[in-house]
Amino acid sequence: MPPPKESIFAKVYYPVGFALTGISFPIVQNYYLRRPYYTGIHRHIALGLIGAVFGYYADRLLDRKWMERDAVIRHYVELHPEDFVQNKRKYKEIFDEWFPVR
């Protein structure tokens, strides 16, 4: 079975989130030091880029972790198929036949 396509939101969630976090640190620092929020714009840019790179690699690390976990589970299911029966009962087998009373 081919892997599902990843949405654009899932691709940019970690990099954008970490970049915004990196940009917000100097803004908060400038606020508490009572300076204009755009002071030290080079720090905003640098920490935003560092955050984006960190988010990209965090996303890759988590994807690898989840792929490895899925591979282990898939391998276990292949080794023990008797524990994972595919015959599911249908609703018509569970519920009794129903006749409306008028």
Among 77, 25, 29, 21, which residue's Cα sits nearest to residue 51? 21
Domain with 56 in it: 8-84
What is the domain count for the chain? 1
The residue type of 52 is: A
CA 58 to chain CA centroid, Å, is: 11
Residue 101 lies in a domain: no
Residue 67 lies in a domain: yes
Which is more confidently placed, 100 or 36?
A: 36
Please check whether residue 38 is in contact with residue 55, taking contact to mean a CB–CB distance below 8 angstroms: no
Distance CA 40, CA 42 (A): 5
Band of residue 2 on the pLDDT scale cut at 50, 70, 90: low
Retrieve residue 65's tokens. 């972790």
Q: Is the pLDDT of residue 21 over 70?
A: yes
Residue 1 lies in a domain: no
Which is more confidently placed, 69 or 2?
A: 69
Neighbours of 26 (CB within 10 A): 22
